[in-house]
Amino acid sequence: MVPQGSLQLYTHPSRGMFTPVMAQAMRLAGQGTRVLIVQFLKGGINQGPENRLSLGRSLEWVRCRLHRCIDTPHLEPEERVALDELWQFTQEAVRSGRYDLVVLDELSLAVKLGLIPEAEVLSLIDQRPISMDMVITGPEMPDSFLERADLITQLRLRGIPGPGLRTADGNVACSLDPPQVSGTGAMPTAAHVAPHR
């Protein structure tokens, strides 16, 4: 019998909480788990699916082909193309069954900003291979994600100075504050966890 994969949500009221998820992914990849990490809104390295990184034999990591971090629903035309390209790649990769664990960083924020349709994400969650674990990160998880989750982790910020991630010259690289968007903005608690299968 094939083990059933889980849907895990990692959330925090602000951005920049990717480190614990990355640590988990690297640990599993080191044990031979086939891992794909997709970062939808983090830019700056102009990567894209065609230039994804391979870390060892088991971990692939791809960022959107962007020159900046996205924190607004208003994209330049080339940014819109890059995000659509990455979302298409992600859907194909998940459905291919090549990976045991797929990490979708800041996907909840991309949905909240209206950049990726919530219905398409739900379809991908529901149609992923039965044994695949999926991790979604980001602030402000939609209720539809919370209802499907097997595990919800709400991260708390402690000991990080300043209101953002800064480059060596002191400029803000990515704001840790989420953009103001409409919606409930309710944060998950243990009461939101319910098996969906």
Going by their DSSP bridges, the two strands 35-39 and 53-55 should be labelled as unpaired
Q: Which residue ranges make up each domain of the chain?
A: 7-192
Average pLDDT over the chain, rounded to an integer: 81
Q: Cα dihedral sign for 49, 51, 55, 56?
A: positive
50 CB neighbour count, 10 Å cutoff:
9
The superfamily in CATH containing domain 7-192 is P-loop containing nucleotide triphosphate hydrolases (3.40.50.300)
Q: Please list, residue by residue across 106-130, b when 16 or more beta carbons sit within 10 angstroms of its beta carbon and e when fewer do.
A: bbbbbbbbebbebeebbebbeebbe
Q: Please list, residue by residue across 61-78, b when 16 or more beta carbons sit within 10 angstroms of its beta carbon and e when fewer do.
A: bbbbbbeebbeeeebeee
Give 23's pLDDT tier (boundaries 50, 70, 90): confident
Give 113's pLDDT tier (boundaries 50, 70, 90): very high
Percent of the chain with pLDDT over 90: 55
Tokens describing residue 186 = 């309710």
Rounded CA gap, 197 and 181, in Å? 31
Rounded CA gap, 64 and 144, in Å? 25
Residue 126: what are its φ and ψ, rounded to 5°? -70, -25
Rounded CA gap, 176 and 21, in Å? 17
- Residue 44 has a pLDDT of 65
- Residue 49 has a pLDDT of 86
Tokens describing residue 149 = 């989750």
Contact 41, 68 (CB under 8 A): no
Q: What is the pLDDT of residues 88-103, one digit of tens each?
A: 999 999 999 999 999 9
